[in-house]
Structure 1
Amino acid sequence: MPNSAIVLVGRILLSIIFILSGFGKLTNIAGTAGYFASFNLPAPTAVAVIVGLIELIGGLAVLIGFQTRIAAYILALFSIASALVAHMGWADAMQLINFQKNLAIAGGFLVLGAYGPGAFALDARRG
């Protein structure tokens, strides 16, 4: 069984980017919707709210270890989808790096989903 303290640190590190990003999106819906409109996404305001909620709630769930496997799989899919939507301009080195970063994050979430949140999680306390 993996060291639960290390799994906790991994959960914290994976969750930070999603909590901050989701909060940022939800507190600036107009700006986020404008950014999403540049990708020709339908209903950019609704998409901004949905994406912000997925990031914030999913990040918090991973952080505290609540429904961790489900949240991890959702955030893995989300990370892959956002890479395919927003980071395909590989002629720009930063876009390629962001694409690869999203894939690496997805990999971390898949491992978390497969092996679970460790002992220091609400899921472990719930049995």
Structure 2
Amino acid sequence: MTILILFLIGRFLFSMIFIFTGITQLLKFNETVKYMSSLKVPFPTLSTLGSSIMALAGGGGIIYHSYCLYGAIAIILFLVPSTYFGHKFWSAPNKKEKNNQMQHFMKNIALTGGAIIIAVASLYIK
């Protein structure tokens, strides 16, 4: 029973960043579309809508244990393109920006790893 409670708390804490991101992107939809355009994300309006839905659905799915696996997959599918398009440290104009983008890139890699762990754990923790 303790492991289930700890797994729930961990999933809840992990999910908060994605739920917050999805809500923020929807509340500031036009600004997010402009930002995605500046990053040269393909189909910025559709990408904004899709990433918002993926973040919200993924975060919510991870919290609700029955959909934990699907939520984790949604988060992975959200993180991979957002990491590539949003944190291109290799083309940063200066060292400070390169370091900043590399930190965000590595954070997203770690979050992807966390989502993989949650996906696998959801298959074993019932």
AA aligned to 2:88 is: M
AA aligned to 1:55 is: A
Query: Which of these residues, 89, 113, 117, is aligned with residue 119 of structure 2?
Result: 113
The residue aligned with 1:87 is: 87
The residue aligned with 1:41 is: 41
Aligned pair count?
A: 120
Q: Find the aligned partners of 1:118 and 1:12 in 2 and give their Cα distance.
A: 18
2:68 equivalent to 1:62: no
The change in CA–CA distance for 1:102 and 1:2 in structure 2 (over 3 A counts) is: farther
Q: Find the aligned partners of 1:103 and 1:81 in 2 and give their Cα distance.
A: 11
Q: Provide, for residues 61-111 of structure 1, a one-character-per-residue CA deviation record: whole Å limited to 9, x for no partner.
A: 112224111210221232122111111225421111110110111111101
The residue aligned with 1:27 is: 27
Deviation at 1:116, TM superposition (A): 0.4
Q: Find the aligned partners of 1:54 and 1:77 in 2 and give their Cα distance.
A: 8
Deviation at 1:24, TM superposition (A): 0.5
Q: Find the aligned partners of 2:123 and 2:23 in 1 and give their Cα distance.
A: 23
Q: Find the aligned partners of 1:2 and 1:95 in 2 and give their Cα distance.
A: 38
Stretch of structure 1 that moved more, 5-14 or 106-115: 5-14
Stretch of structure 1 that moved more, 56-65 or 11-20: 56-65
8 Å contact from structure 1 (residues 39, 85) kept in 2: yes
TM-score (norm 2): 0.84
> Which consecutive unaligned segments of at least 5 residues does structure 2 have?
none
Deviation at 1:42, TM superposition (A): 2.6
TM-score (norm 1): 0.84
SS of the equivalent of 2:89 reads coil
> Which consecutive unaligned segments of at least 5 residues does structure 1 have?
none
The change in CA–CA distance for 1:66 and 1:13 in structure 2 (over 3 A counts) is: same
Deviation at 1:21, TM superposition (A): 0.4
